[in-house]
Structure formats: C-alpha cells, structure tokens
Structure 1
Amino acid sequence: MTKAFTYSFLLIIVSLMVLALRVPLEASLLPIVERPLISNLLADSTVRVLIVIGLSFFVLQKRLLPFNGLKPFTLSNAQLLLLSVAIILILSYSSYGFYLATTPSILLLFGIGQALIGIMEELLFRGIVFPLLILHFANKKQPIIKAVWLSSLLFGAVHLVGLIRHPENVWGVTNTVIFATGIGFFFACMLLRTGNILVPVFIHFLVDFTNGASALSEVEAVAAVPTLTTVVLTLGVVIGMSLIFIGAGWFLLKRVDREEWLQKAALIRF
C-alpha cells in the first residue's frame, strides 16, 4: 500500500468522523433556533466549513492546486458546463414548488449548505483522493482510468453512512450509492476534460440543490413501505441513470491527454 493510498483512506475516514459532529451540534442548536430545519442546515454547514478548511490546507501543503486547475486558472470546453446546467435545470422542474413555498432567508441558507456539500465532496474526492490514486497507480497500466474508477467507487461507498441515521431505508441508501458512483465517475472525467475542479463543484451544487429540495418541507412525511415492483423499477431507473453518467464520462475521458494529467499528479509533494 502506497503513501498516496493511505492518505486517501485516512482523509475520507477523518472527514466522515468530523461530519458525525453535526448530530450533537444540531441537537445543541435546536433549543436556540427552535426549528429543526434551521438547526439541521446550520449544523451541517458548520461542520462542512471545518472540513473544507482542513482539506484546503492539505491541498496547499501537497501542491494540489495545479492539478485542480486553480493555479494557474484554466478552463476548457466550457460548453460542457452549459449543457450540464441546462439538463439539470430541466430535470429540476418538479422542485420549483418547494422553492416557492420557502422564505428567501431559509432558501439562501439551504443554498449555502448545498454549495458547501459540493465544495467539500469535490475537493475531497476529485481534488485530493483522485490525484493521489493516480500516484498510487502510476507504475501500473492505465493509472488514470483506474484512479477514476476507484475514486468513484469510494465516493459511492461513503454514502452507505446514510444507514446510520436511517437504518430502515436500505433501498433508498442503495440507490444513492449506485447513483453517487455513476455521477462520481462523470465528475472525475469532467475535471479531466475541463481542467478545473470548479466545473464539477458547480454541477454538483445544482444536482444537490434540485434533488434535495424536498428537505425544505418541514412537514414530516410518513414513508410508505415500497412494493417489490416499486423497488425494482426505481433500482432500474437509478442503474440506468448511473450508466448514462458513466457513458458520458467515458466519452469525455477518451478525449483527455492522460500524459498531461500524469505530469500534474507528479508535482504533488510527498
């Protein structure tokens, strides 16, 4: 096991441990703000800010800015960003009702929270773990492809922590893991194709902002027990979407100068 792989594993574990602090923090904030939604948003945003700060220090220390396209700033194939945004906005049509029923202040707090999710997860998995895995596989065949796959699988696997708070939602968490793996593959390839981590960060924010809109409703819905038909159909749709993301990512990956990215990864300080 290389040092790069060890760092990747430890950073994921530490980030998950810090994220666990949002539960007691949310409980301590609830008597003050007196609204579960606000206490949840504040606690979640606070711990993610702490994680982003810690990850940013790591990025600076290990010279990962060039890999992420932030020093110097580069952005190619901007049309990919515009196309992705257009598709997401069209698919988010069903979420508009939640936005209209929410006060501007709560909507702003929700938006900040979703932005922090995108920043933290992309910085960790695409900005740090991904290049470290390229280093890990550097002496093997097709290191870029292997790093894309493994970083995506790790990104999907960490969503299993949803079972800790909702152990009854096995199928829901399973769908999330599959979807996260597929879109994680796409995000990694998007970074390689555009040369800037801010592109997947922004798309990640839009995905979370639209898909998580139901959280703005403070009325707790009673979840019905899904039928076998519903489970199978939902699983099929999620797998289909994930395969589409992987296919789109593979299309982008075929047009990437892999030697250039191997050189960027080689600049990381160890």
Structure 2
Amino acid sequence: MHKFRSLAKRFPIIFSVIVISISMWLIFLPDDGSLGWGLILTNLKGRFAVSVLLVVLMFLLGMGKGLFRASGIVKVFFDGWVLLLIGAVYLVVQVLSLDFSAFGEGLNALILMAFLFDMFCTGLFEEVLMRGVVFQSMASSWRDKKNGILISAIVSSILFGLVHLLNYTDGLLIATMTQIIFSTFIGIYLCGVFLKRGNMWSVILLHSVFDFLTLFFQQEFTESPKVVEAASTVTDLPLSMGLIMIMATLPLCILGIRTIRRYANVNKPIELS
C-alpha cells in the first residue's frame, strides 16, 4: 500500500485519469429503460456501488479520515448559496416554458422517488471521485508548490468537465461543450467549498441539490406516451443560451478561486505518505 500511495503522489494526473476511466467504465451498466425500480437498481449497481469502492480507496490512500462527519452539514447551504441560486433561477426558467398538462399527466410517485435517488447517487459518485480522490491526490502532490492547491483544483475541475464529453450524442455539440465549461467552473467552486468545510457530505449535498434543481423538469415522471416522445426528441442548445449559461456560472469559478486561496493553508487535503 505504501508503494501504491507513492505512485499516486508521484504521478497524480496519470493516477487520476486511470481512476476516472475505471470508475466511468464501471458505472455504465445496462438497464431496462424503466423509470422506476429499474433506475433505482441501476444506480445501486452502478454509481452507489462504485462510490463505496471509491470511499474505500480514499481510506486506503489515507484521504478519508474525518471527511464524512455529519456535523456542520447545514452550514454548507449557506456556503453554497450562489450555486443554489443559479440552480433556482434555472428551475424558474424551465417552469416558464413547461407544458404542465403533459408533465402532470399520470404523475408517478415511484418514478419521482427514483429520480431523487438518482440525483443523490450522481452527487455522491461525482464528488467522491473528483473532489475526494482526484483533487486530493493532486493537492497532496502539489501542495508545497506555489499555488499548488489552486492548480490542483483547476486541473481536477478540467478533468471533471471533460468527463461530460461522455454525454455527447449527435446533434448536441453546443450543449455538450457548454456542459464541459460550466461543469469546470462548478468543479472549481466545489473544490473551494470542500476546502472550507473539510467535509465530503457538504459537496455531495450541494451537488445533488443543484442537479435536482436544474434537471427536475427535464425528467419524465410519467409513462405518458406524449411525454416520453417529447423527451426523446434531440435538440441542440442555441449558441446564445450556451453563452448565457457559461456567463451565469463564471462567478462560481471566481468565487471558488477566492475561497481556495483563502483556505488552502487552513484545511489542506490529507498528505499521502
């Protein structure tokens, strides 16, 4: 294990790319396309199970001690109010353009519960992977360099953004590139929150709530053929809307950098030894 930690510290980018690649491969499990129990089962076999493995990896590397405490979780919603505000604004925009007659047709409680679990598992998986393992491994290697913690946050967040290339499908170029850029900004912001609180649950909950706000009205909570057909229609994001989304999340990047600079020497990630 000492040699493994040494390799992770000496080659943090290579180590991170390998861990990301294996983790993403493991979560892509086939499912039956069900919106209810099928989605819950897929998450249990995929994101949740891989998250548990990543938490084990964190502890094996010496990076998990004290990061999963329950104290101070409520304060994170005050720390992350800017992210939640952006999510809330996006939610309102979706409400204004929503066809409520289609959305409410045959509303299914099981599907809603499955969606909530999906959002939690997404936040859990992405934060344990990107902030818990990737950011900490880089910060542990570069912490003694000038602006080493900040560089670690930026590089790990760029990798976080690039992971969203996996969401690309034909006809969604602008939407995918927009997602890569604003995910990078959000990643930097979450690195700042993580450093400030020194608690994994803080960024997991923030991430999950933000995804809930931004994706809620994009989900199908009904088996209605009209809704399913509309959801299957692939339409790229207008360039103007992509630029607006990027500019809306740019303040998160700026705030994240300021927070990282302030707390880099207060709550440093755990040293790999």
Look up the match of 2:219.
Answer: 215
**Does 1:198 pair with 2:201?**
yes
Question: 1:234 Cα shift?
Answer: 1.5
Secondary structure, aligned partner of 2:270: helix
Give, in angstroms, the shift of residue 45 of structure 1.
4.5
Corresponding residue for residue 110 of structure 1? 115
The answer to whether the 8 A contact 1:92-1:210 is kept is yes
Matched, 1:265 2:270: yes
Compared with structure 1, are the counterparts of its residues 265 and 74 closer, same or farther at alpha carbon in structure 2 (3 Å cutoff)?
A: farther
Which segments of 5 or more consecutive residues in structure 1 lack a partner in the other structure? Answer: none
Deviation at 1:71, TM superposition (A): 5.8
Partner of 1:49: 48
- Listed as ranges, the matches of 1:66-85 within 5 Å are 66=65, 69-70=67-68, 78=76, 79-81=78-80, 84-85=83-84
Partner of 1:13: 21
Note the aligned Cα RMSD (angstroms): 2.9
- Report sequence identity in percent: 19
Residues 1:220 and 1:100: Cα distance change in structure 2 (over 3 Å): closer
The residue that corresponds to 2:11 in the other structure is: 3
Correspondence for 2:224? none
> What's the counterpart of residue 186 of structure 2?
183
Contact map agreement 2:120 2:208 (CA 8 A) in 1: yes
Aligned partner of 2:126 in structure 1 is 121
Q: Deviations over 1:28-49 (max 9, x none)?
A: x35xxxx466545542442112
Give the deviation of 1:223 after TM superposition.
Answer: 4.3
Contact 1:45 1:112 in 2 (8 A): no
Matched, 1:234 2:241: yes
**Equivalent-residue separation in structure 1 for 2:70 and 2:267 (angstroms):** 14
Does the C-alpha gap of structure 1 residues 195 and 100 become closer, same or farther in structure 2, counting only changes over 3 Å?
farther
**Displacement of 1:107 after TM fit?**
0.6
CA distance in 1 between counterparts of 2:192 and 2:116 reads: 25
Per the TM alignment, residue 135 of structure 1 is displaced from its structure 2 partner at its CA by 2.2
Aligned equivalent of 1:64: 63
Q: Distance in 2 between matches of 1:99 and 1:69?
A: 39
Is 1:55–1:123's contact at 8 Å kept on the other side of the alignment? yes
SS of 2:240's equivalent in the other structure is: helix
Q: Which amino acid aligns with 2:241?
A: T
> Offset at 1:131?
0.9
TM (norm. structure 2) is 0.79
Partner of 2:260: 253
When the two structures are aligned, how many residues end up with a matched partner? 251
Q: Determine if contact 1:45/1:113 at 8 Å carries over to the other structure.
A: no
Distance 2:69 2:235 in 1: 50
Inter-partner Cα distance in structure 2 for 1:182 and 1:48: 23
Of 73-82 and 132-141, more deviation after overlay is shown by 73-82
Unaligned runs of 5+ in 2: 1-6, 222-226
